[in-house]
Structure 1
Amino acid sequence: MRFYSTNSPTSTVSAEEALFHSMPADKGLYMPTPLPKPGRAFFDALADKSLADIGFAISQLFFGDEISEQDLYAINQRAFSFDTPVINLRDELGILELFHGPSLAFKDVGARYMAAMMSHFSKRNDKEVHILVATSGDTGGAVAMGFHNVPGVRVSILYPTGRVSDLQEKQLTTLGGNIQAFEVAGSFDDCQAIVKQAFLDKELNSQLALSSANSINIFRLIPQGFYYVRAYGQVRDAGKPVVFSTPSGNFGNLSAGVLVQQMGLPVHHFVAATNLNQVVPSYIKSGVYAPMTTVATISNAMDVGAPSNFVRLAHLHGDQHDAFRTNISGYYFDDEQTRQEMKRLHDQYNYVACPHTAIGVLGLEQYRKESGESFTGVALATAHPAKFKPLVEEVIGRPVAVPERLAVMADQTKRSIQIDNDYESFKEAFLQAV
């Protein structure tokens, strides 16, 4: 499998190069070539299997010529020791729970797969890899836990001060060891801009082997397609078209769904559900892509005003607006609508949802209302509600139990390096830390 940059389709690199040097020098994003297209029959035969088995089968399509069958099997078994179940609330409405991994968020799927892949490839190299990652909440925790104590890898996580929940922050800042957190006086977009600048800094890259664990890394995105396949296998017996509603911030999650759709997974339609950072829903409506200043909301992991993966989404649709809006509908919702939906899900279905999940359901129901179609709708639940405990308890009016693997972090001491919102401040602090 080779990977090309969206800015230079004729120039390709190896899987190992794309994994460890996640951003091409031309500032594009890597995409696989040729994209395997095994078709619907492949996915129909695969869809009832476990997440690990699905990952193994799809990984063989991508990397079977470069990684042995035995190693690919081990990589997927190591990454996916948990399931991603669909919880049916009623006929035609299911919730795909993606928070049963170690960090209680959907980012576990991509982060653990990346960690296993890097561990495999790094056995060939003696040079330590330095991962830089920006987070608006869940990515940081998943990356920290996925890469904690992985030999030959150090991780630096940049997060915006005051814009992640308390428990999310503890996941980023309490592990120690090979995990270092940088608290940035700015937004997620500012953190992301610093990371991107670091990858383009020739001086820094001459000293250190830098890589990314954000969704700009294609190895974060590919495994996220696995749980769309797993979900399809759980709902297809209803015999109706399947529509996925994906709560979206940086749009890696939705890009992964479209990727497996183009490989042959029979997805009827996608919904891009966002908070007030409505860049993509606005593009779908107008045909004009206009990044915006980030707006802080209660669904903080989606507070992204300049989503990196819009480039991939557009590319997957041939950079054609008509093709994009035919396959994806977009809706956005404010904090009050989000709170109301969290309460409705609790009162009507006894289901406790985080704010991001509530937005996913809102988007799905809005599409159902506007389209008038009959379909099986699946909204992605991206994080465990306990990660937003104070907010959720305020909305639903009762306590939310905290899983033990999250509760143990609550009393641990936060350790982070506070930096100004500029690249030079980060570079100085980063070099001192490493």
Structure 2
Amino acid sequence: MKLYNIKENDEQVSFGQAVRQGLGRNQGLFFPAELPQFEDIDSLLAEDFISRSTKILSALIGDELSKEKVAEMVGNAFQFPAPIKAVKDGVYALELFHGPTLAFKDFGGRFMAQSLAAVSDGGKITILTATSGDTGAAVAHAFYGMENINVVILYPKGKISPLQEKLFCTLGKNIHTVAINSDFDACQALVKKAFDDEPLRQQVGLNSANSINIARLMAQICYYFEAASQMSKAERENLVISVPSGNFGNLTAGLLAKALGLPVKRFIAATNANDTVPRYLETGKWDPKPTVATTSNAMDVSQPNNWPRIEELCRIKDWGLETLGRGAVRDDESAAEAVRELNKLGYLCEPHGSIAYRVLEEQRSADETGLFLCTAHPAKFKEVVDSILESDIELPAPLAKHAAMDLLSLNFDADFAQLRELLVKVSG
């Protein structure tokens, strides 16, 4: 598999190099030089989740890793289902929260851990990542206890849910967490600054587990195929998918699934008040505003890192950006109303999924099948959901265990010098 740097096309790397590096020169994202095409989609969708995902990922990776190795990696990573649930006639929820940290990022985080282990040359590795909520837990648990790999996770202090924080800031060992006195965009800026520091990158073996890493993105393609496999042929051939969008990795993966041959009529990018992309698609002007804190905090991103990949894919496929659906639920009360509406339909949801549902229902035609992504278990947002529904959600076992543990996080200002010192220290 060859990948090129979107910003500097002359930089071309293998899958292994892309996984180890994370970012290219000038903070450029890596993108596949070729995308395989699956012609017999019905036969592919008839396979089980593991064998189908192995075929998809093997086709993307090419002969760099054997099919047997990819099958082993997929089997180790995807040890939980991605079921769709009927919410009402013509509308399904894709539940991506059945993994160990109860969020969609378990798929990408665990496959990236498997990939890094497969392509590692035995040198030291320091994973540096920023999280607006769920990435931190997925990455921490995927790499917890792995030899020769240290993980440093930055998150905006007070701007993720308490249970999200507990899930990844209580582990210790090779997992180091830092609460930054700012917003998620400031955390991302610190990560980018670290990757721009070439001596530091070499010294600590720096790598990123954000959705900028191609291994995470590739893993996410697979659950779009899995969702379609659970529908009838008629349903999936008139399919509209609404994706709650923050850093836009999830939507990028969905569009890549379509590029590989998955029949999707259209995608909808659903955001909260941090609506840079919907405004851009309406006006043609890229105009990020200061990040706004909302109850759908994993989407509190005003400068989404993965957007250049979407533009690159649309350029390659000659898909006009205007064909991409978009919508925003710009206030918490509207997101809460959607949670209540879903609850009346018998489906328990949280604000990220409810935003995707609300935008889907505003734009879906009666003859279309709708699918909205539920990216986290409602209990991860227990305080918010309990307040909206006047309920008392029971905590699943993983959350109950970590809720009782002490936080181990450090607390920094958005100061690169402090972060650099920490990275050198933890790398030994």
TM-score of the two chains, using structure 2 as the length reference: 0.96
CA distance in 2, matches of 1:19, 1:117: 7
Number of the residue aligned with 2:141 = 145
Number of the residue aligned with 1:194 = 190
Deviations along 1:89-137, one digit per CA (max 9) or x if unpaired, are: 1121000000000000000010000001111122xx2212110010000
SS at match of 2:402: coil
CA distance in 2, matches of 1:190, 1:200: 15
SS at match of 2:103: coil
Q: Does 1:244 align with 2:241?
A: yes
- Tell me the CA shift for residue 319 of structure 1: 8.4
Task: Give the 3 Å change call, closer, same or farther, for CA 283–399 of structure 1 in structure 2.
Answer: same
* Aligned residues of 2:273 and 2:328 also touching (Cα < 8 A): no
Deviations along 1:136-181, one digit per CA (max 9) or x if unpaired, are: 0000000011111122211110000000111110112111111110
- Tell me the CA shift for residue 321 of structure 1: 10
* Alignment partner of 1:255 out of 252, 256, 278: 252
Number of the residue aligned with 1:279 = 276
Number of the residue aligned with 1:84 = 82
Deviations along 1:334-384, one digit per CA (max 9) or x if unpaired, are: 10100111111112x12110110000101101112xxx4521100000000
Number of the residue aligned with 2:131 = 135
Q: Does 1:431 align with 2:427?
A: no
AA at the equivalent of 2:260: M
Q: Which runs of 5+ in 1 are unaligned?
A: none
CA distance in 2, matches of 1:308, 1:282: 16
Deviations along 1:178-229, one digit per CA (max 9) or x if unpaired, are: 1110111110000011001101102212311111100111111111010000
CA distance in 2, matches of 1:187, 1:431: 24
* Aligned residues of 2:221 and 2:257 also touching (Cα < 8 A): yes
* Alignment partner of 2:62 out of 57, 61, 64: 64
CA distance in 2, matches of 1:166, 1:50: 36
AA at the equivalent of 1:236: S
Number of the residue aligned with 1:267 = 264
Number of the residue aligned with 1:420 = 413
Number of the residue aligned with 1:106 = 104
* Aligned residues of 1:113 and 1:219 also touching (Cα < 8 A): yes
* Aligned residues of 1:287 and 1:321 also touching (Cα < 8 A): no
Task: Give the 3 Å change call, closer, same or farther, for CA 264–105 of structure 1 in structure 2.
Answer: same
Deviations along 1:216-250, one digit per CA (max 9) or x if unpaired, are: 11111111010000011112344450111000000
SS at match of 2:285: coil
Q: Does 1:410 align with 2:406?
A: no
- Tell me the CA shift for residue 331 of structure 1: 3.1
Q: Does 1:383 align with 2:381?
A: no
Number of the residue aligned with 1:23 = 23
Corresponding residue pairs, total = 426
* Alignment partner of 2:152 out of 145, 153, 156: 156
Task: Give the 3 Å change call, closer, same or farther, for CA 112–322 of structure 1 in structure 2.
Answer: closer
Deviations along 1:277-330, one digit per CA (max 9) or x if unpaired, are: 001111111111212211000000000010011111111111899801213333
Deviations along 1:15-59, one digit per CA (max 9) or x if unpaired, are: 1110010110122100011111223x1x32122333322220111
Which range moved further: 147-156 or 316-325? 316-325
Q: Does 1:176 align with 2:172?
A: yes
* Aligned residues of 1:49 and 1:230 also touching (Cα < 8 A): no
CA distance in 1, matches of 2:122, 2:87: 51
Q: Does 1:217 align with 2:213?
A: yes
Number of the residue aligned with 1:289 = 286
SS at match of 2:230: helix
SS at match of 2:287: coil
TM-score of the two chains, using structure 1 as the length reference: 0.95
* Aligned residues of 1:284 and 1:321 also touching (Cα < 8 A): no
SS at match of 1:46: helix
Task: Give the 3 Å change call, closer, same or farther, for CA 320–424 of structure 1 in structure 2.
Answer: farther
* Aligned residues of 2:11 and 2:24 also touching (Cα < 8 A): no
AA at the equivalent of 2:369: T
Task: Give the 3 Å change call, closer, same or farther, for CA 373–9 of structure 1 in structure 2.
Answer: farther
Number of the residue aligned with 2:44 = 46
CA distance in 1, matches of 2:63, 2:136: 32
* Alignment partner of 1:337 out of 318, 329, 334: 334
AA at the equivalent of 1:245: S
CA distance in 2, matches of 1:98, 1:126: 32
CA distance in 1, matches of 2:370, 2:146: 38
- Tell me the CA shift for residue 67 of structure 1: 0.8
CA distance in 2, matches of 1:33, 1:203: 29
SS at match of 2:123: coil
Identity of matched residues, %: 40
- Tell me the CA shift for residue 74 of structure 1: 0.5
Task: Give the 3 Å change call, closer, same or farther, for CA 381–414 of structure 1 in structure 2.
Answer: same
Which range moved further: 386-395 or 282-291? 282-291
SS at match of 1:418: strand
CA distance in 2, matches of 1:234, 1:319: 30
CA distance in 2, matches of 1:414, 1:156: 15
* Aligned residues of 2:329 and 2:335 also touching (Cα < 8 A): no
* Alignment partner of 1:115 out of 103, 110, 113: 113
Q: Does 1:229 align with 2:222?
A: no
CA distance in 1, matches of 2:181, 2:231: 44
Q: Which runs of 5+ in 2 are unaligned?
A: none
SS at match of 1:377: strand
* Aligned residues of 1:48 and 1:230 also touching (Cα < 8 A): no
* Aligned residues of 1:161 and 1:186 also touching (Cα < 8 A): yes
* Alignment partner of 1:352 out of 348, 361, 385: 348
